[in-house]
Amino acid sequence: MSSEANADTVIAETKVVFVTDTGRKFPVTLGIGKPYLANQTACCVYYMDGYKKPFQAYGEDTFQALCGAIGMIRSHLNSLVEHSGYKIYEGDVDFESENYEENYAFSVELVFAMNL
């Protein structure tokens, strides 16, 4: 794990659906790349649909960088929920179904418990 090429390797990915307080729905893919070492620093790339570029988390080693990436995704999701009033649903949701509320993740913590 010493080459930046590992940044292109996705090791974890999940799909959620955000629903605004006005009912607007949009799917979002969250992903984490394989942590790698670059110039004595560990890096882990992570991404969320809707942002132009992926983000990077750094650490003393690849495990710390990976944990940082997970923490930053959680922080981004919490911010969207707290400040925008979004609800988060897990996976591909059929909103025409009578039972679509079963996919409601209730909180960012539940998204992480189910997927990461």
Q: Which residue range is the domain that position 51 belongs to?
A: 4-115
Per-residue model confidence as pLDDT tens digits over 53-77? 899 999 999 999 999 999 998 888 8
Give the torsion through C-alpha atoms of 11, 73, 17, 83, to 10 deg: 180
What pTM does this model have?
0.73
DSSP secondary structure letter of residue 106: -
Number of domains in the chain: 1
CB 85 within 8 A of CB 20: yes
Q: Which residues contact residue 106 at a Cβ distance below 8 angstroms, ignoring those fewer than 6 apart?
A: none
Per-residue model confidence as pLDDT tens digits over 70-115? 999 888 888 877 877 777 777 666 666 655 566 555 455 555 554 4
